[in-house]
Structure 1
Amino acid sequence: MISKPLLAAALALLPITAQAQTATLPTDPATDWSVATSEHRVAVEGGKVWVRVNGTIGKGATPVIMIHGGPGGTHVNFGGLLSLADTRPVILYDQLDSGMSDRPENPANWLPERFVAELEAIRKELGVERWHVIGHSWGSALALEYAAAYPEHTASAVLSGTFLSTSHWITGTNLLIRELPDDVAATIRACEGRNSPEPAVCEPATAAFYAAYNGRPDRPAPSPEAIAYRARYGGKGFNETVYLAMWGPTEFRASGSLATYDATALLHRVDGSRILYVVGQYDEARIDTVQDFVALTPGAELAVVPGGSHAFIAERPEVSEAIYRDWMARIDQRSDSRESAE
């Protein structure tokens, strides 16, 4: 679920007034992955969130919005997917309290339903009738919650690096610990105990877990464009305060407000034929766990990114883009065929 990159790395629906300030930016492809067509600051409950759009709403295929992980993460891990804007508008944003968005740091805002309402505020402000919602990690839970709450506005929902249930996630990560070398696994267990060793002992073991399941050593180095993008659009970056409050100190134990979170009951409320699960071969979101979710979503599809971990979008960018591109094109074609038949 939680895209927490080792804590050091970048990893009641209430009325909302949505107001945006739009700026058309000059083209400068040398310094960015892809310069935005427009940027917006959209008023949501609790503050304003930063939104960027590539393409023109109302032109091209059905738009897509990408929902980052965390909680407390940022949109930047989706930057390499802006190439999808050659056929459809691509919308990226930072959730309240992270990245380029406002940081009121009010715990009252850190509720799943408020994050879902945040998405709806963005949709209304941009004038999107229907869109694809692609969520990664924590974002996949928000994508499912949004699809269940607003089916009329959801063309499809992609649940990638899938987190839908804390108990499933914790069970999965603890099973993955068993697959590590015995000494590493023993150290992690000790570090999760009451009398934890010093950080100098725990950090290398946790790093070994991440190297296996969330950022594999063979991942490509960041491109100059990616580095320039982070420098320009990273904002205040990952918000550790939100992560700790909603999740907890490690991937292996949830002590925050999401400790009892479980969205699996929503799976019967969505159209399974419009749900795609995507995981990496070595993902923290274990394939067998996600297969259980697929079984609860009749008609849903599952894609596995070969050689990818939880960070598969960065590790296997071409495969990831192809999966998302093909999925949305097929859904759009199906919708067009239905409309023609009517």
Structure 2
Amino acid sequence: MIVKPLLVAALALLAVTASAQTALPTDPAADWSVATSEHRVPVEGGKVWVRVNGVIGEGETPVIFIHGGPGGTHVNFGSLLSLADTRPVILYDQLDSGMSDHPENAANWRPERFVAELEAIRKALGGVERWHVIGHSWGSALALEYAAAYPEHTASAVLSGTFLSTSHWITGTNLLIRDLPDDVAATIRACEGPTPPAANVCEPATAAFYAAYNGRPDRPAPTPVMLAYRQRYGGKGFNATLYNAMWGPTEFRASGSLAGYDVSGLLARVDGKRVMFVVGQYDEARLDTVQDFLALTPGAELAVVPGGSHAYITERPEVAEAIFRDWMARKDAQGREGK
């Protein structure tokens, strides 16, 4: 559900390496940083940075991708910009993340403000009457909240790497810890206890959890284009302060404002035929939990990415693109047919 501090630190290290060794791409056709338009949209608390590939009003129904966190950025959606061959693709950084304003005001860190942020973007872009909302991890909760609040503007909602309930998430991560090697699981439990061991003991165990469920060892290495994009458009990157305030110190313990968060009840309020859940085979968002959510959403679909973890979008980009492309094409066709 959450963008991982350890993972972000690793990406930051890769970006530094790229700046020293890799020139920015010179081929615009291969450069993620080439957007059709960029915007700074006023929202409660400041302005958020938005990029659009494609022209609003042309092609099929637009899609907006909603990143995880809280405190993450849009950058891992870069490989999905290929979807702009048929429809406008909209990426953005939530307030206090990445390229957007960083007022660092905790009064802004409320789920309802993040949902209102989405609607402000839709209105500011003009001509977006309906769009597909695809949220990953924390972003999937925002996608569901948006779909429930604005059904008239939601062509479909994809709940990817699904986080809808903190209690379900914590139960799931603790079951996943149990499946790790005994020594790793014991170390993680000790690190979550009242008197944790030193960081040099805890960090390798946490890294082992991520390698199993969020960034598999066989994932492809970042390409020069990916690294250069992160260098150019990473902004201030992941916001650990926001993450800690809303979630907590680790994936396994929620002590922030989302500790009692649960929007699974909204599944009964949305049109299930316009909802799809997507998880990786080895996702932190456990398949059995997501199947429970699926059962609460009559008519919804479920896609599982073989070999993928919570980071399946960067691990299996071709599969992710194919799933999203097929889903949106079918929903668009059904919309034209009035179904």
Residues 217 and 5 (structure 1), Cα distance of their counterparts in 2 relative to 1, 3 Å cut:
farther
State the alpha-carbon separation in 2 of the partners of residues 5 and 267 from structure 1.
30
Give CA-to-partner distance per residue, 1:44-100, whole Å, 9 cap, x none.
000000000000000000000000000000000000100000000000000000000
After superposition, residues 217-256 of structure 1 pair within 5 angstroms as 217-256=217-256
| Residue of structure 1 equivalent to 2:171 | 171
Give CA-to-partner distance per residue, 1:82-120, whole Å, 9 cap, x none.
000000000000000000000000000000000000000
Q: Is residue 40 of structure 1 aligned with residue 39 of structure 2?
A: yes
Q: Is residue 8 of structure 1 aligned with residue 9 of structure 2?
A: yes
After superposition, residues 1-342 of structure 1 pair within 5 angstroms as 1-6=1-6, 8-9=9-10, 29=28, 32-33=31-32, 35-127=34-126, 128-338=128-338
State the alpha-carbon separation in 2 of the partners of residues 326 and 120 from structure 1.
25
% identical aligned pairs: 84
Residues 157 and 10 (structure 1), Cα distance of their counterparts in 2 relative to 1, 3 Å cut:
farther
Structure 1 contact 110–242 (Cα < 8 Å) conserved: yes
Residues 122 and 10 (structure 1), Cα distance of their counterparts in 2 relative to 1, 3 Å cut:
farther
Give CA-to-partner distance per residue, 1:156-189, whole Å, 9 cap, x none.
0000000000000000000000110000000000
Amino acid at match of 1:87: T
Amino acid at match of 2:119: E
Amino acid at match of 2:159: L
State the alpha-carbon separation in 1 of the partners of residues 5 and 80 from structure 2.
20
| CA deviation after TM superposition for structure 1 residue 32, in Å | 2.2
3-state SS in 2 of match to 1:158: strand
Consecutive unaligned residues in structure 1, runs of 5 or more: 12-26
| CA deviation after TM superposition for structure 1 residue 30, in Å | 6.5
Give CA-to-partner distance per residue, 1:209-244, whole Å, 9 cap, x none.
000000000000001110111111100100000000
| CA deviation after TM superposition for structure 1 residue 28, in Å | 5.3
Structure 1 contact 31–228 (Cα < 8 Å) conserved: no
Amino acid at match of 1:207: A
Residues 107 and 216 (structure 1), Cα distance of their counterparts in 2 relative to 1, 3 Å cut:
same
The alignment of Structure 1 onto Structure 2 pairs a total of residues equal to: 324
Amino acid at match of 2:70: P
3-state SS in 1 of match to 2:9: coil
Residues 10 and 291 (structure 1), Cα distance of their counterparts in 2 relative to 1, 3 Å cut:
farther
Query: Which structure's residues are more often helix, by fraction?
Result: 2
Structure 1 contact 10–73 (Cα < 8 Å) conserved: no
State the alpha-carbon separation in 1 of the partners of residues 140 and 218 from structure 2.
25
Structure 1 contact 4–10 (Cα < 8 Å) conserved: no
3-state SS in 1 of match to 2:117: helix
Give CA-to-partner distance per residue, 1:249-281, whole Å, 9 cap, x none.
100000000000000111111000000000000
| CA deviation after TM superposition for structure 1 residue 2, in Å | 1.2
Structure 2 contact 33–232 (Cα < 8 Å) conserved: no
State the alpha-carbon separation in 2 of the partners of residues 291 and 33 from structure 1.
34
Residues 241 and 95 (structure 1), Cα distance of their counterparts in 2 relative to 1, 3 Å cut:
same
State the alpha-carbon separation in 1 of the partners of residues 335 and 11 from structure 2.
37
Structure 1 contact 31–229 (Cα < 8 Å) conserved: no
State the alpha-carbon separation in 2 of the partners of residues 322 and 5 from structure 1.
29
State the alpha-carbon separation in 2 of the partners of residues 267 and 322 from structure 1.
25
| CA deviation after TM superposition for structure 1 residue 8, in Å | 2.8
Task: Report the TM-score, using the length of structure 2 for normalisation.
Answer: 0.94
3-state SS in 2 of match to 1:187: helix
State the alpha-carbon separation in 1 of the partners of residues 265 and 4 from structure 2.
25
Deviates more, 1:31-40 or 1:59-68: 31-40
Structure 2 contact 156–275 (Cα < 8 Å) conserved: yes
Structure 2 contact 33–233 (Cα < 8 Å) conserved: no
State the alpha-carbon separation in 2 of the partners of residues 132 and 86 from structure 1.
16
State the alpha-carbon separation in 2 of the partners of residues 30 and 59 from structure 1.
20
